[in-house]
């Protein structure tokens, strides 16, 4: 037997301890040198995230409480909660919130349902899945300005193709972009269309992971097409649908660019004024940065609360493997 | 319900047929095995019986009803899939109830029937679990209960034991037989494992290359193989095949007996010896052939010994070397 002196034991104890400590700090096999190198690679992205995301979050939190603020010198003096009181009591803010909620309720279900229908159609074609997937992904990578420009033509009251098609059914020309009642539907149509690419590709990927055997089993168990859809496709796709619903709710609450591009303003009689547009107006038109910050925080709180509710509901409805 | 296959042919997208016009009848209440190597057409036959594939030619009769063009969801059969295909988001009870829900059976009755099936398959203590929380053997039992709950007249099993470990395979194979006899249902069982087929079937349908080679009871197919394929596919350790002019002699290892030199048909040196429990297997090099012989307890043979072997005339099968058929 090999003899072990107390000293050797002590050494092995300290080396064990330092090893444990190293494992706690570094990932398997990482050394101080390799970790420093990794930080160096992470640094450029980290700087950009800190400057454009992290810092503004804290800065807006601070700005929102200034009741006396100089727009030009960016200096704040007195603080209080007046900005929140203003925003929460503002008729315009209420309108913008109603418009935003209408938009979200219109866009999210339509995006998911239509994306799912397209994904199912692409999934059922025997050949050319990759081709169709690429085609339907195009809207996602097309610039908002380009999409809005095309839709301005589609929605044009006199020469637009949409009104031309509607005329076949005897429907009089609609002032899609000019009339306050039609601005929101027009915005929803365009947004659904530009969201379809992402939704379709995501759901298609989800469909491809479903075990084909489940469909055969359901068939043998006597399930027709509809029941196979409800007992196999929907539950197996629920994590994907859930993910899509969370990202599109958050994305839709942040709607701004499309409005700016489509209406070149908040729409007739503020008919397309959303919360982010309201924030933009407070910032650049009213030049009240603290008030814009307060509105942004209110929007953040709303999105956060809705996401929490979605997570709670999702826990019950979503099946994870 | 008798099941009849008439000239059943299946070709996928203009490929050469995977099933070349097979004819057979499975009698009411029998357990029949479709046995063969992979690609022999046994799974295709099962899919055709289920209605999940449609044949290129030929007919399938359930009793006297022609079901060839009937969709799977209307055939009213029970099927157990190789990977069980349980609905992962549904509890065991809801999985078993699903076929009844599709038949619009009232809920209370459905729960009662599903619970009864769960008792038969001995999983009634797991009804609230999800399939992901069950072991392979338990999932298998759920799949069997789900297949049987609508009281079908035909049960199809697609390699149901291949995902289980060796011990569980033995247990589940007995369970399948027990349940099948208890319910008295006509059952068709697909397997590539000859031992499985021989152990639980009333009838073995041996297939190769899209054709039925032989169909018989397990004992008959073992004792009277009609071809080289049949003889070599069935039996473990494998049958000895000895070339003798334009004939090939087949002798099962347990039929080769040690004997005195004067009576011997084959003599050679022992090149290998293993004893597993009560069986001793030796390999004997006789000229260009190496023969397997299973010895009885009491025959003491050691590595390197010279042994003399013989076999009864009725235990030597003669095959035509060119056609591969028994003569």
pLDDT of A179-195, one tens digit each? 999 999 999 999 999 99
Distance CA B102, CA B75 (A): 13
State the pLDDT at residue A78: 87
Asked whether residue A115 is assigned to any structural domain, the reply reads yes
- Asked if residue B114 lies in contact with residue B149, where contact means CB atoms within 8 angstroms, the answer is yes
**Backbone φ, ψ for residue B247 (5° rounding):** -115, 160
CATH number at residue A279: 1.10.3720.10
User: Could you tell me the two tokens for B68?
Assistant: 């060839």
Asked whether residue A13 is assigned to any structural domain, the reply reads no
- List the single best residue of B72, B150, B159 to mutate versus A (max A Cβ within 10 A): B72
Contact criterion met (CB < 8 Å) for B88 and A216: no
Q: How many domains does chain A have?
A: 1
Contact criterion met (CB < 8 Å) for A222 and B89: no
Is A114 touching B (CB cutoff 8 A)? Answer: no
Residue B117 burial (C-beta neighbours within 10 Å; 0-12, 13-18, 19+): buried
Secondary structure in 3-state letters for B251-300 = ECHHHCEECCHHHCCEEEEEEEEEEECCEEEEEEEECCEEEEEEECCCCC
- Asked if residue B294 lies in contact with residue B255, where contact means CB atoms within 8 angstroms, the answer is no
* Of A280, A274, A281, A282, the residue nearest A303 (C-alpha): A274
Asked whether residue A52 is assigned to any structural domain, the reply reads no
Asked whether residue A104 is assigned to any structural domain, the reply reads yes
Strands B247-251 and B316-320: antiparallel
- Asked if residue B305 lies in contact with residue B269, where contact means CB atoms within 8 angstroms, the answer is yes
- Asked if residue A257 lies in contact with residue A187, where contact means CB atoms within 8 angstroms, the answer is no
Q: Per residue of chain A (321 residues), what is the pLDDT tens digit?
A: 444 444 445 556 666 667 766 666 666 667 788 888 989 999 999 999 999 999 999 999 999 999 888 888 888 888 899 999 999 999 999 999 999 999 999 999 999 999 999 999 999 987 888 899 888 899 889 999 999 999 999 999 999 999 999 999 999 999 999 999 999 999 999 999 999 999 999 999 999 999 999 999 999 999 999 999 999 999 999 999 999 999 999 999 999 999 999 999 998 889 999 999 999 999 999 999 999 999 999 999 999 999 999 999 988 888 876
Contact criterion met (CB < 8 Å) for B76 and A222: yes
Straight-line distance from the first to the last Cα atom of chain A, in angstroms, rounded to the nearest whole number: 52
Domain that holds residue A307: 85-317
Is A33 touching B (CB cutoff 8 A)? Answer: no
Distance CA B200, CA B185 (A): 14
Q: Nearest CB to A231: which of B73, B87, B103?
A: B87
Strands B203-208 and A75-76: unpaired
Asked whether residue A272 is assigned to any structural domain, the reply reads yes
**B49 contact residues in A (CB cutoff 8 A):** none
| Distance (Å) from the alpha carbon of B19 to chain A's nearest alpha carbon | 21
**B150 contact residues in A (CB cutoff 8 A):** 221-222
**A235 contact residues in B (CB cutoff 8 A):** 87-89
Distance CA B45, CA B34 (A): 9
**B52 contact residues in A (CB cutoff 8 A):** 216, 219-220
- Asked if residue A86 lies in contact with residue A222, where contact means CB atoms within 8 angstroms, the answer is no
Q: Is the peptide bond before A275 cis (omega within 30 degrees of 0)?
A: no
Distance CA A265, CA A199 (A): 28
The CA angle A63-A64-A67, to the nearest 5 degrees, is 90
Asked whether residue A249 is assigned to any structural domain, the reply reads yes
State the pLDDT at residue B167: 87
State the pLDDT at residue A23: 66
Asked whether residue A190 is assigned to any structural domain, the reply reads yes
Straight-line distance from the first to the last Cα atom of chain B, in angstroms, rounded to the nearest whole number: 36
Dihedral in degrees, nearest 10, Cα atoms A277, A312, A238, B71: -130
Is B100 touching A (CB cutoff 8 A)? Answer: no
Residue A205 has a CB neighbour count (10 Å cut-off) of 12
Asked whether residue A228 is assigned to any structural domain, the reply reads yes
Contact criterion met (CB < 8 Å) for A217 and B78: no
| Distance (Å) from the alpha carbon of B101 to chain A's nearest alpha carbon | 9
* Of B282, B237, B277, B234, the residue nearest B257 (C-alpha): B282
Query: Containing H/E element for B242?
Result: strand B240-244
**A219 contact residues in B (CB cutoff 8 A):** 51-52, 71-73
Contact criterion met (CB < 8 Å) for B85 and A321: no
| Distance (Å) from the alpha carbon of A238 to chain B's nearest alpha carbon | 10
State the pLDDT at residue A5: 46
Strands B266-276 and B316-320: unpaired
Distance CA B249, CA B326 (A): 10
Q: Per residue of chain B (327 residues), what is the pLDDT tens digit?
A: 899 999 999 999 888 899 999 999 999 999 999 999 998 999 999 999 999 999 999 999 999 999 999 999 899 899 999 999 999 999 999 999 999 999 999 999 999 999 999 999 999 999 999 999 999 889 999 999 999 999 999 999 999 888 888 888 898 899 999 999 999 999 999 999 999 999 999 999 999 999 999 999 999 999 999 999 999 999 988 999 998 888 999 999 999 988 888 888 889 999 998 888 888 899 999 888 899 999 887 677 888 889 999 999 899 999 998 888 998
User: Searching chain B, which residue's CA lies closest to the CA of residue A214?
Assistant: B85
| Distance (Å) from the alpha carbon of A222 to chain B's nearest alpha carbon | 4
Q: How many CB pairs under 8 A join A and B?
A: 68
Distance CA B91, CA A293 (A): 49
Check the CA dihedral A307-A312-A314-A318 and report its sign. Answer: positive
Is A220 touching B (CB cutoff 8 A)? Answer: yes
* Of B300, B282, B299, the residue nearest B291 (C-alpha): B282
Contact criterion met (CB < 8 Å) for B79 and A319: no
**A216 contact residues in B (CB cutoff 8 A):** 50, 52, 72, 79, 81, 85
Contact criterion met (CB < 8 Å) for A321 and B98: no
**A221 contact residues in B (CB cutoff 8 A):** 73, 98-99, 102, 146, 150
**Backbone φ, ψ for residue B15 (5° rounding):** -75, 165
**B73 contact residues in A (CB cutoff 8 A):** 219-224
- Asked if residue B251 lies in contact with residue B242, where contact means CB atoms within 8 angstroms, the answer is yes
Q: How far is CA B276 from CA A136, A157, B294, in A?
A: 64, 90, 11
Is B99 touching A (CB cutoff 8 A)? Answer: yes
Distance CA A209, CA A233 (A): 10
**Backbone φ, ψ for residue B156 (5° rounding):** -110, 135
Contact criterion met (CB < 8 Å) for B88 and A223: no
| Distance (Å) from the alpha carbon of B76 to chain A's nearest alpha carbon | 7
Distance CA B85, CA B163 (A): 12
State the pLDDT at residue B303: 86
Which residue blocks in chain B are alpha helix, DSSP H? Answer: 42-50, 72-75, 92-102, 107-120, 136-148, 166-183, 194-200, 218-223, 228-233
| Residues A243-276: tens digit of each pLDDT | 999 999 999 999 999 999 999 999 888 999 999 9
| Distance (Å) from the alpha carbon of A123 to chain B's nearest alpha carbon | 19
Q: Nearest CB to A213: which of B81, B90, B99?
A: B81
Contact criterion met (CB < 8 Å) for A216 and B52: yes
Distance CA A284, CA A289 (A): 8
Is A316 touching B (CB cutoff 8 A)? Answer: no
């Amino acid at each position: 037997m090999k003899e072990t002196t107390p000293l050797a034991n002590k050494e092995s104890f300290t080396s064990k301890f330092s090893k444990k400590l190293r494992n706690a700090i570094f990932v398997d096999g990482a050394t101080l040198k390799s970790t420093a190198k990794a930080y160096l690679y992470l640094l450029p992205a980290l700087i950009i995230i800190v400057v454009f995301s992290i810092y503004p979050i804290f800065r807006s939190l601070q700005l929102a409480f200034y009741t006396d603020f100089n727009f030009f010198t960016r200096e704040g003096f007195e603080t209080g909660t007046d900005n929140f009181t203003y925003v929460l009591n503002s008729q315009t803010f209420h309108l913008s919130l109603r418009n935003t909620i209408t938009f979200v309720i219109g866009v999210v279900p339509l995006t998911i349902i239509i994306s799912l229908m397209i994904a199912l159609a692409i999934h059922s074609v025997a050949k050319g899945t990759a081709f169709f997937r690429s085609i339907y992904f195009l809207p996602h990578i097309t610039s908002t300005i380009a999409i809005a420009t095309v839709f301005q033509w589609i929605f044009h009251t006199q020469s637009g193709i949409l009104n031309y098609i509607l005329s076949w059914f005897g429907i009089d020309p609609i002032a899609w972009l000019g009339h306050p009642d039609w601005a929101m539907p027009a915005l929803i149509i365009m947004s659904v269309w530009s969201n379809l690419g992402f939704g379709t590709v995501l759901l298609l990927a989800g469909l491809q992971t479903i075990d084909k055997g489940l469909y055969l089993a359901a068939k043998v168990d006597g399930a027709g097409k509809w029941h196979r859809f409800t007992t196999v496709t929907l539950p197996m796709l629920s994590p994907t649908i859930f993910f899509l619903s969370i990202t599109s709710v958050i994305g839709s609450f942040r709607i701004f660019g499309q409005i700016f591009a489509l209406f070149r303003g908040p729409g007739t009689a503020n008919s397309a004024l959303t919360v982010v547009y309201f924030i933009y107006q407070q910032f650049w038109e009213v030049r009240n940065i603290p008030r814009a910050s307060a509105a942004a925080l209110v929007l953040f709180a709303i999105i956060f609360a809705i996401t929490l509710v979605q997570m709670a509901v999702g826990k019950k409805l979503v099946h994870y493997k | 319900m008798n099941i009849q296959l008439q000239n059943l042919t299946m070709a996928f997208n203009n490929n050469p047929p995977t099933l070349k016009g097979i004819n057979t009848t499975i009698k009411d209440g029998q357990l029949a095995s479709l046995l063969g190597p992979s690609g022999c057409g046994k799974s295709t036959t099962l899919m055709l019986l289920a209605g999940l594939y449609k044949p290129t030619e030929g007919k399938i009769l359930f009793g006297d009803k022609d079901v060839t063009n009937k969709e799977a969801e209307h055939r009213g059969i029970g099927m157990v899939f190789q990977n069980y295909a349980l609905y992962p988001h549904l509890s065991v009870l809801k999985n078993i109830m699903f076929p009844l829900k599709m038949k619009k059976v009232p809920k209370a009755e459905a729960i009662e029937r599903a619970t009864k099936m769960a008792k038969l398959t001995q999983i009634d203590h797991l009804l609230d679990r999800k399939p992901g929380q069950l072991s392979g053997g338990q999932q298998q039992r759920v799949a069997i209960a789900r297949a049987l709950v609508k009281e079908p007249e035909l049960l199809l099993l697609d390699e149901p034991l291949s995902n289980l470990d060796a011990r569980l395979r033995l247990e589940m194979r007995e369970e399948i037989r027990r349940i099948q006899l208890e319910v008295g249902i006509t059952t068709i069982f697909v397997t590539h494992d000859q031992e499985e087929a021989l152990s639980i079937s009333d009838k073995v349908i041996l297939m190769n290359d899209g054709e039925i080679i032989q169909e018989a009871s397990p004992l008959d197919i073992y004792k009277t193989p009609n071809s080289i394929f049949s003889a070599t596919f069935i039996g473990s350790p494998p049958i000895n095949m000895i070339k003798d002019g334009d004939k090939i002699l087949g002798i099962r290892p347990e039929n080769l007996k040690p004997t005195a030199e004067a009576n011997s048909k084959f003599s050679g040196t022992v090149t290998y010896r293993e004893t597993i429990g009560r069986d001793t297997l030796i390999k004997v090099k006789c000229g260009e052939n190496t023969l397997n012989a299973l010895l009885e307890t009491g025959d003491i043979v050691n590595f390197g010994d010279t042994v003399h072997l013989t076999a009864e005339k009725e235990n030597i099968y003669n095959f035509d070397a060119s056609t591969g058929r028994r003569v």
